[in-house]
Amino acid sequence: MAIRNTILPLLLSLSATAWHSPGNAEGAGTFNYLGDGENYAYSVKQTGDSYTFEFEKNPGAEGKKLKAAVHVLHSVYGDDSVNPRYSETFMKETALCFVFDGTFHSYRACFLPNDYSPGNRDRFWGFVTQLPNALWLITWNLLPALLAIGLFFFLPKKR
């Protein structure tokens, strides 16, 4: 009985911290992206749950912007499992967003328009967001919960 009273609260607190874990973002700063032989400097700032990025020089066509966005995701979140091909695209307000899949998270990279800034029509900026996917849910929530339930019912019968 003493083991059950000790292990159950420990497992519950572990599952609660896994549920509320704040991603593994490396954070804001200044980074460099090397694409097609050119160096593109950009800055990243944390804005709530998202990270806003702004390039000093526009990489050019949409394909080059997508490669730059994947570099931003790697720089900010440090996840090497990000697939460089986007899985879907959508509009969020006026931003064009692309979804990139990783092992435990999905990532959104949204490009903001320059419609309201006539002096900066060539600016490349936007924001990136990390979202947990189904594998993260199973690994960090359902498996510990099943373990806790199993230990709760198994340990008393064992004694």
pLDDT in tens, 25-58: 566 789 999 988 899 999 999 999 899 999 999 9
Look at residue 128 and tell me whether its pLDDT is greater than 90: yes
With contact defined as beta carbons under 8 Å apart, do 109 and 52 qualify?
A: no
Phi and psi at residue 14, in whole multiples of 5°? -65, -45
CB-count burial class (<10 Å; 0-12, 13-18, 19+) for 83: middle
Residue 10: per-residue pLDDT:
52
What one-character DSSP code corresponds to residue 119?
G
Look at residue 14 and tell me whether its pLDDT is greater than 60: no
List pLDDT tens digits, range 76-127: 999 888 999 999 999 988 899 999 998 888 999 999 987 667 777 788 999 9
Domain ranges of the chain: 25-133
Tokens of 80: 């090497």
The residues that bridge with 54 in the sheet, in sequence order, are: 43, 125
CA 41 – CA 44 distance, rounded (Å)? 10
Query: 132 falls in which pLDDT band (50, 70, 90)?
Result: confident
Three-state DSSP at 90 gives strand
Residue 26: per-residue pLDDT:
63
Residue 56: per-residue pLDDT:
92
Closest CA to 56 of 27, 35, 32: 32
Look at residue 15 and tell me whether its pLDDT is greater than 70: no
CA 15 – CA 39 distance, rounded (Å)? 43
Query: 13 falls in which pLDDT band (50, 70, 90)?
Result: low
Mean pLDDT score across all residues of the chain: 80
Residue 91: per-residue pLDDT:
92
Residue 149: per-residue pLDDT:
80
